[in-house]
Amino acid sequence: MDYNPMELMICCAARLLEDGRTVAVGTGAPCAAAMLAQRTTAPNLVILFEAGGVAPLLPTMPISVGDSRTFYRGVMATSMADIMETCQRGMIDYTFLGGAQIDPYGNLNSTMIGPDYARPKVRLPGSGGANDLASFCWRTLVMTHHDRRRFVEKLDFLTTPGYLTGPGAREAAGLPPGTGPYRVITNLAILGFDDETKRMRVESLHPGVSWEQVQAATSFPLTARQPLAITPPPTERELHLLRTEVDPHRYIIGRPC
């Protein structure tokens, strides 16, 4: 079947969302993944939006977290404060985040690029709700393009906590035990984190991608789960739903990855 990297990434993300779980999403590819999951393996997935929409039945792709569609036939139309409180109470299983940089421990930078905070090379949007979500949701999922500028040994700025400096660091910082980064989904592979070291490792390679390609696109040494798997490609049904119901106008799947 013919599919592009973005379609593969969205399908991979959708498969990770289990039926009956809760997920906090933003717009773009994470929202597309949640919508696809509801139409395939997780019909009872509960979607929450940062602006306050809880469990909407999304008719079409929203353009922002405050879009009226994020409240459509939902169980609650509440506020950002209530969504963040729900995170703090440990009631949100998954969240999707991204950033300009990610390090071996899954820490994210979405604040600035460069050595000088006062005079950065690039000023980025900042945390928004990302720090809160990564701190208190049980599992953090990251969707991002895979290249050496993003996958770095050391962040220029720590915006959002992953496993911080390694085993025990999240707990020492006061974050709930058992929370943290879970999977990183890129255009080359699916990556996870070693249970002992908390460092990033490759879980599966996408079809046609080699281990050498993934390591060359990463600025720090990677390990791999053994045996190293090959990511299953999108099914015909997944692609049909993604193209005809989730994103028929190709706002997301039409983007280069």
In CATH, 5-246 is 3.40.50.300: no
Rounded to whole angstroms, how far apart are CA atoms 226 and 161? 27
For 142-151, what is each residue's pLDDT tens digit?
A: 999 999 999 9
Mean pLDDT across 51-74: 92
Predicted confidence (pLDDT) per residue in 221-253, tens digit: 999 999 999 999 999 999 999 999 999 999 999
Domain ranges of the chain: 5-246
Average pLDDT over residues 186-200: 98
- Answer yes or no: is pLDDT of 256 > 80: no
Q: Does the pLDDT value for residue 114 go beyond 70?
A: yes
The catalytic residues are: 50
Query: What is the rounded average pLDDT of the residues 8-18?
Result: 98
Mean pLDDT, to the nearest integer, of 165-179? 97
Residue 84 — very low, low, confident or very high, per pLDDT cuts 50/70/90? very high
Q: How far apart are CA 131 and CA 234, in angstroms?
A: 31
- Using the predicted structure, report yes or no on whether residue 1 has a pLDDT greater than 90: no
Mean pLDDT of 210-218: 98
**Are 143 and 183 spatial neighbours (Cβ–Cβ below 8 Å)?**
no
Mean pLDDT of the chain: 96
pLDDT, residue 257, reads 67
